[in-house]
Structure formats: C-alpha cells, structure tokens
Amino acid sequence: MAGRFEGKVALVTGAGSGIGLASSLAFAREGARVVASDVLRDEGEAAARRIAEAGGQARFVPADVTRAAEVESLVRRAVEAFGRLDFAFNNAGMEGPGVPTHEHSEDDWDRVLAANLKGVWLCMSAEIPVMLARGGGAIVNAASALGLVAVPNAAAYCAAKHAVVGLTRAAALDYARSNLRVNAVCPGYIRTPMIDRVIARDPEAEARMHLAEPVGRLGTPEEVAEAVLWLCSDAASFVTGHALAIDGGLVAR
C-alpha cells in the first residue's frame, strides 16, 4: 500500500457501490482504515470484504443517513472500532423521479431532499464534533455537476445538489480556523448503478449523456475517488469551501 493515509480513519457512506465503493477501496489502498456504511447490508458487507481481501482494514456499519439516530450510531461505532475519525466522504444519495417540476409528488420531493441533502447535514453534524475534538480533519460531500448547472426533469435532485454546494461552503467557513476542511465533489455523468437505473428507464439517455460530456464519454467511479482522496490529503491543505467538478468539461459549456 502507498501509505498516504497510514494510521488514519475514513468514513464513507453509500460505500456499497459506485463512487462510494471506489472511494472506500482507494482510501484502504492508501493505508486508511475504512468504515464502510450503506443502507443496503449485502452491498456494504461486500465492500468491507473487498477491502480486507486486498489487505486493508474495514468495518461495515449499516445506516440510513436520513435518520439522525442511525447517523449518530454510525459515527460512534466508527470511533469505537478504530479510535478516531480523520476523513469523511458523505456520499450516500439517490436519483430523482425524472419528471417535470410540477409532476414531482410531495413524497418524491421529500425523499430526494432527505437522501441527498438532509443526510449530508446529519452526517456532518455527527462527524464534526469528533473531528474537532481531535484537532481537525477533512470532509468531502457528494454534490453533483447538477449542483452547479441544471437539466430538465430533475428539479428535486438539482435543488438538493445545489443546496449541498451551499451547505459545504457555509460549513467550510464555520470551521476554517479549526483545521477542519469541508469540500464537495461535483461528478458529471459517471458509470454507476444510479446512472444504469436512469438508462434502464430511458435507453436513449446514455446517448444524451455522451453528447453532454465534452470529452465524449462517461466518467468512472475511480476518477471521482481520486479527487475525493486528493481533497482529504495534505496536498489540498489550502483548499476548503470548494466544489470540485469532475465532469469531463460538462459545466464548462
């Protein structure tokens, strides 16, 4: 292992697949002990096993990030397992229903905002006191390129991800003098199970995604994971409050 994060502990939500899984594996590759959390037990346990099989240390802790008690338990169990918390990637989220703004049901709206925005806030609320008590840390929140621009038929998702960018910036200012950095990643169209579900509903969506990406392809979870690790590393020690687009140029149009 390269050892960039040797002796450190990283918490990743939504760790069972996609960007969360890739980031969990990358943290472990760099020597961090990983708390892999997911609402889906089988996927989360599989992520922890993959880390162990690769020679790393991991603990799976199930949690629904929309429930405060479960998030508080997650962070408490992370510290109990490994004695500290240095990094958090608040990645868990979900896509929206893919309908025009006025066709969102109230239930859909609440569910998308809870998973993508409230969950990030609940995670930070539990993580920050632990990090401050140890003298600092680094948090990365999962926003989206759709937190910087918008597309049709995604009002709830765009609203949530724009709000994550604002939340990230506000939190970064709150703790800028406490050695606690807070940043966000804003992935473009990345080949993940979420994108696969969108394509399954609308097979023509993949072609539109390729056209939307100036580089002409979808990104990979591993490409986003590298950005997450960089934001947590000492190489980014002067970076806080930043929303980093990893999007193949999508928002540059």
Write out the catalytic residue numbers.
157
Q: Which residues pair with 33 in a beta bridge?
A: 9
Which residue in this structure is represented by tokens 């970064």?
172
Structural tokens at position 130: 């632990």
DSSP 36-99: EEESSHHHHHHHHHHHHHTT--EEEEE--TT-HHHHHHHHHHHHHHHS---EEEE---------
Q: Can you tell me the distance from the alpha carbon of 118 to that of 141, in angstroms, rounded to the nearest whole number?
A: 12
Q: Could you tell me where the beta strands, DSSP code E, fall in 69-195?
A: 87-90, 137-142, 180-187
Task: At 244, give phi and psi (nearest 5°).
Answer: -90, 115
| Contact yes or no for 186/227 (Cβ under 8 A) | no
Q: Are 132 and 81 in contact (CB under 8 A)?
A: no
* Single-letter code of the amino acid located at 240: T
CA-to-CA separations, 142 to 15, 82, 93, 227, in angstroms, rounded: 12, 24, 8, 11
